[in-house]
Chain A
């Protein structure tokens, strides 16, 4: 469905498209540095660190328990899972639900997040809408339905115009998401200018070093450990070893002296 091909003034390209790209990029970089300046170190709770390491140890026991003797494995499983004295049964952590309204640190974090990310986006979006309105900026390469017209063609009231022609505001939003990879190229992987990642974080919730409910984690770990059986990997190790001669390749060359012991 090819509508009439509009020929746009080339000065649009020079004075609208490129400046918007440059502005978006620079604002993103500035956002990254401002976030770094305002960033406060998260205080880590000893208890949380300890719990996460315990869970790690239990997982290692499940996965690699077959490399230690049966009795050692039984001893450790007993330590974790015993009905009365087992760690996962006995230890109940007091869980304080982190209410975003009352928990001060989370409140300040949220505010900082809002100020550095949402506010500039609104401000600049609005300014671009005001400054660069009344003309189409570019054409998206795929056809769109009429529904998109009011959204993407702000300020242009032409009923017959193809919805693929968009105004500068939509070009701005395209840039905000498109320049993500540019940011990671220039600022390194973990940069604060990455908008969509921040929105992702909002979705997954407050997942820090530990899930907010250690008790649930303990319970699931207990269940997982209960069903694990010990199948000793070293049962037939001698037979496996002695079926062929040892490979002494490179044993006495200079560089490998250290592997002898």
Chain B
């Protein structure tokens, strides 16, 4: 049955490398792998323990998380990485004070440890203290400007606070570093659309178009393009030329949407909504 364990191992590795969050599946596959085939894993077992532990915390499987954690603690007693996992378990049990103390001790030892700082901000977010979380995250980003995960998190926090201008700034950082990622373009366009105002609508239309150019199958961007174009066309303040252009864009988007529905009908055979 070694091919089965190899298959499971490959699946776990793929999920780990591509940052999937399918915790239930990871727990299923990982638990079986650890219990039945531990001997065949060699040194991979430690990173699998870490992956399964985090997934177990997601699924409220504290028993599994604790057992993984104990194995890791036994093997790597002084590791900061393991300490962070201990902290994460404390967070899952809502023992935020203890978790905070733990992360502070890590930071005292190693002030450049970004993982501990980010966990502290996550605690603030979990406790609902979004203004403090935003402030801490801003300070963190002042020091570590290159952390894309943090920029994305900050943009989300700003969107929740309805501070769209600042969210747009964060998304611009992301777009610059990943110019080929259509999802960032699309999110940026949505934020601009929400901000409203003629200039922002134009920008949002452009970025919806860019997202569509990067990925022809992005349906949300197609609908966004249609909405922003029609919105601009319907606005009383635009010149005739701009109005004509936007009507043309909206018409094109509408035809494409119809085409997509037809493709779907052919593929699936039903007339159900696209989104």
| Chain A residues packing against B (C-beta within 8 Å) | 44-46, 49-50, 53-54, 56-57, 60-61, 64-65, 67-69, 72, 234, 237-238, 240-242, 245-248, 250-253, 256, 259-261
Contact = CB atoms under 8 A, between A and B. Distances in A.
A57 B183 CA distance: 21
A53 B175 contact: no
B112 A46 contact: yes
A150 B41 CA distance: 56
Which of A61, A238, A242 has the most chain B CB within a 10 Å cutoff? A238
B209 A234 contact: yes
B259 A248 contact: yes
B216 A261 contact: no
A247 B203 CA distance: 24
B252 interface: yes
Contact of B209 (A57, A64, A237, A256): A237
B75 to A, nearest CB: 18
A169 B203 CA distance: 73
B209 A49 contact: no
A242 B249 contact: yes
Nearest to B219: A260
Given A61-B176, A242-B249, A248 B144 contact: no
Interface string B22-39: 000000000000000000
Given A246-B222, A252-B264, A234 B144 contact: no
A49 B268 CA distance: 52
Contacts, number: 98
Contacts of A49: 112, 143-144
Contacts of B196: none
Interface residues of B, number: 40
Chain A interface, >50% SS class: helix
B145 A234 contact: no
B264 A67 contact: no
Nearest to A232: B206
Given A241-B212, A246-B259, A68 B175 contact: yes
Contacts of B179: 64, 67
11 contacts: A50-B144, A50-B145, A57-B173, A68-B176, A237-B209, A238-B249, A246-B260, A248-B259, A251-B260, A252-B263, A259-B215
A252 B112 contact: no
Nearest to A47: B143
Given A68-B172, A251-B260, A259-B217, 15 more contacts: A44-B112, A46-B111, A53-B145, A54-B145, A64-B176, A64-B179, A65-B176, A72-B168, A238-B205, A242-B249, A248-B217, A251-B267, A252-B268, A261-B219, A261-B220
B207 interface: yes
B210 A234 contact: yes
Contacts of B177: 60, 64
B138 interface: no
B14 interface: no
Given A44-B112, A68-B175, A57 B145 contact: yes
Contacts of A53: 144-147
A217 to B, nearest CB: 15
Nearest to A260: B219
B155 to A, nearest CB: 14
B16 to A, nearest CB: 18
Contacts of A238: 205-206, 209, 249
Contact of A56 (B111, B146, B217, B220): B146
A68 B112 CA distance: 31
Contacts of A251: 217, 260, 263-264, 267
